[in-house]
Amino acid sequence: MKDYILFDFDGTVFDTAEGITKCVQYALDKMGIEAELSELMCFAGPPLTEMFSLKYGMSESEAERATELYRERYRPIGWMECKPFDGMHDLLLKLRADGKKLAVATSKPTHLAQLILEHYNMTADFDLICGSEFDGTRGQKWEVIEYVLQRFGISPDEAIMVGDRKYDVLGAKKCGLDCIGVRFGYAEPNELEEHGAVYIAETADDLYNYLSV
């Protein structure tokens, strides 16, 4: 198995759906759009501007405005409406003990991922924490993955991605990495299989067993 493991954040390391969906609902309400929380799970994981455009047909400027409104609630409140998935902290500690190098590779702004990890005393679980930036830098998952590889100074064949959505699989493929999917995240039925995940882990223990082979 690979010595460098890249982890998506939302839906993979942390269950952040509550905070994300409530903040999306808040932003939509400010723009005069009504939506139930159950309709907004698709926002958990992908770049926000992309999803506002895809789901609601927003222009680029409208999607950027919606994202600003989302952050209006997320920064003071939404980031705390989350928790690590069962067994994830122990999984990361065991992988570190095995000598693996671990990185967060997320579409979420780096600062927010760091904030959540610090809140749960999990910052030391990772060698690198990499995401997008508020100015739009590294807005696509493949750009984050490429940046992690550069920061580690490694080639794609030395690493593997772990994620819960097609964006993780496709971003990894674009960078030359395989991707392991996790069933406990936010993917639609068969989403991970259809886009080429090399394995689907049912639990954190299942994921460790695959990664430690």
pLDDT digit string, tens, across residues 23-75: 999 999 999 999 999 999 999 878 899 999 999 999 999 999 999 999 999 99
Radius of gyration of the chain (CA): 16
- Please tell me the predicted confidence (pLDDT) of residue 1: 79
Please classify residue 171 by burial: count the beta carbons closer than 10 Å to its beta carbon, then call 0-12 exposed, 13-18 middle and 19+ buried. Answer: buried
Token output for 113: 């991922």
Mean pLDDT of the chain, nearest integer: 95
- Please tell me the predicted confidence (pLDDT) of residue 172: 98
- Please tell me the predicted confidence (pLDDT) of residue 28: 98
* Exposure letters 72-90 (e unless 16+ CB within 10 A, then b): ebbeeebbebbebbebbbe
Low-confidence ranges of the chain (pLDDT < 50): none
Q: Name the nearest CA neighbour of 211 among 142, 141, 162, 145.
A: 162
- Catalytic machinery residues: 8
| Prediction pTM value | 0.90
CA distance 140 to 131: 9
Cα–Cα distances (Å) from 99 to 1, 45, 52, 212, in that order, read: 12, 28, 40, 10
CA distance 143 to 176: 12
